[in-house]
Amino acid sequence: IDIEQDDRVAQAICNFSHLDQNGVPREQFNAFKRVIRRGDWYTFVGHPHKAQSGEESILATELPQLMSPSLHQIPAQLDDAETRARRPHVDMLVHRQAVQTLRIRSAIERGISTFFDNQGYSKVSTPLLTAGAGGAVARPFETVATEMQDTTLNLRIAPELWLKRLVVGGLGKVYEIGPAFRNEGVDATHNPEFTICESYMPFADLDHLMKMTEDLLSGLHEQLRQLGEDSFKHLADTAVNFDTNEAHLFQGPYPRLPFIATIEKETGKKLPDLSNDDATQQVLDLFTELNIAVPAKPTLPRLLDALAGQCIEPLCIKPTFITEHPAVMSPLSKSYVCPKTSQLISARAELFIQGNEYANMYEEENSPFAQREKFVEQLRYREVDGEGDGRAEVDESYLEALEWGLPPTGGWGMGIDRLVMLFTGQKRIGDVLPFGTLRNVVGLATR
C-alpha cells in the first residue's frame, strides 16, 4: 500500500502471515482488503522494513485503522475546467501542482514577513471596511453596515493611507500583508480580490527602496531554492534556478529605464510639456501619428500608461525598474522637475519582469498643501471619466493627518499573487489562489 502525506510517499506492507502472529483474524484482514480505497485516511503501526525490491517501507504489526473514508473514487485525470473550479478539493487531490503552489505561496509570504521583521518593521493589520476606499485609483466595492445604514462603506483598494497615518503617529517602519479589493475585471493576472504587501519607512529614498526590492527578491529566490527540487517537481517553468553555479533571474542590480526618455527614444517623438492644459490633446495626436490604439476614456494618465505598455514594458524581460514617471500619473508621490527633460515627474519606480508589473514604490508626498492640489487634479480626471464611481475623492481625513507631520517616507507595495505566479510558473492568477478567481468562488457558493 502506498501511503502519502505532505507529498512524501512510503510503502506499507500488510502481510497476513505477519499480522496473524499478532492475533489479527483472517476475517478482519479480508474485510480490510475489501474496503480500503484510494483517498482513505488510515493510521499504520509497524516497524521499518526493506522490501524485496530494496524499497524502504513499513511492515505493519497491527491491522491499519480507518480514520476517515473517501466515499468517492478519486479520478485518475480531471481535465474539465468547470469541474475543477466547482470542486477545488478534488482538483488538489488529482493535480498535485495545486498543493505545491499553495505551499510555495506560504513560503513566499513567510519569507517576506521575515525580511521586514528582520529589518525592524512593525507588522500591522489595518481596516478592510472604510468610508473611503483610498490609496489607489480604482473602482471600489460598496456595501452598507447594519449599524450605519446611512453610510456607504467601501472595501479598501489599498492599505496605503492607513499605514501612513501610523507613520504620522510615530510608529516608524510598518508593513502589512493582506487582502485588497478592486471592483474591476477578471483576467489572467487580475482578480477583484487579491493579496498585497505594503511597507513604509521614514527617511527612505527611492534608491533605498529599489535596493531593498533587489535584496528581497534575491533572498526569496535563495529561500525557495533551499526547499529543494522535490518541492517544485509538479511545477513547470518555475523561476527558481537550482543550479548554484549559474546566475539567477533575481540577482541585482536591475536596469533602470526613465519613463519619458525611453518613450521618446522608442517612438522617435518628443513628448509635449505634460503640465500644459492641452497636453491631453497633444498626446492624442501622438497616438494618431504613431497609429496606436487609444484607450477608453483617454485621460492624460491613461494615455501615458498606454504609451508605457506599448513602448517600455516590452523591454522589461529581466527585472527592470521604470523610473521618473510623469507626476500626473502618481498623485500620492512627491514630484519635481526633471533636469534632463524639464518635465514635472514623480519620485517613483515600478518593477517589471517579463513585461508584467510586480512592485511599485515612491517617496511619499508629505505636504498637505501639495497633496490637496494633487487630489483635486485627480478628481478632475474622474470628472472627465464621467463615471462618478468615487475613485478620486479629496480625502480630508488623510489631509488632516498630514497636517500633523509625515516625515520623508519611502512607500513600497508588491502584489503577492503575481509574485507566486512568477516563482511557480503559473500562467493564471486563479492557479495561485486556493479557490480560484471570483468567478470560481461565486460558482462554488451557488451550486
State phi, psi for 168 to the nearest 5 degrees: -55, -40
Tens digits of pLDDT across the chain (447 residues): 898 887 788 899 999 988 888 889 999 999 999 999 999 999 999 999 987 777 889 999 999 999 999 999 988 888 877 777 788 888 889 988 999 999 999 999 999 999 999 999 999 999 999 987 666 667 899 999 999 989 999 999 999 999 999 999 999 999 999 999 999 989 999 999 999 999 999 999 999 999 999 999 999 999 999 999 989 988 988 999 888 777 788 999 999 999 999 999 999 999 999 999 999 999 999 999 999 999 988 999 999 999 999 999 999 999 999 999 999 999 999 999 999 999 999 999 999 999 999 999 999 999 999 999 999 998 888 766 655 444 456 889 999 999 999 999 999 999 999 999 999 999 999 999 999 888 888 877 765
Q: Which residues contact 358 (CB under 8 A, 6 or more apart)?
A: 351, 352, 414, 415, 418, 419, 422
Give the pLDDT confidence score for residue 132 in this predicted structure.
Answer: 74
Q: How high is the pLDDT of residue 246? A: 75
Question: Which residues share a beta bridge with 410?
Answer: 201, 363
At 389 the pLDDT is 47
pLDDT of residue 391: 46
In angstroms, the CA 309 to CA 317 distance is: 13
Neighbours of 219 (CB within 10 A): 16
CB of 342 closer than 8 Å to CB of 363: no
The whole-angstrom separation of Cα 344 and Cα 331 is: 12
Q: How far apart are CA 375 and CA 417, in angstroms?
A: 29
* C-beta neighbour count of 41 within 10 angstroms: 12
Output the nine-digit C-alpha cell for 377.
487634479
Domain residue limits, the chain:
2-74, 96-446
d(CA 228, CA 220): 13
Rounded to whole angstroms, the Cα distance separating 26 from 28 reads 6
Residue 388 pLDDT: 47
Contacts of 387 (CB under 8 A, 6+ apart): 139, 297
Q: Spell out the CATH class of 96-446.
A: alpha beta
The pLDDT of residue 383 = 67
CA 14 vs CA 68, 128, 194, 391: distances in Å: 19, 53, 47, 65
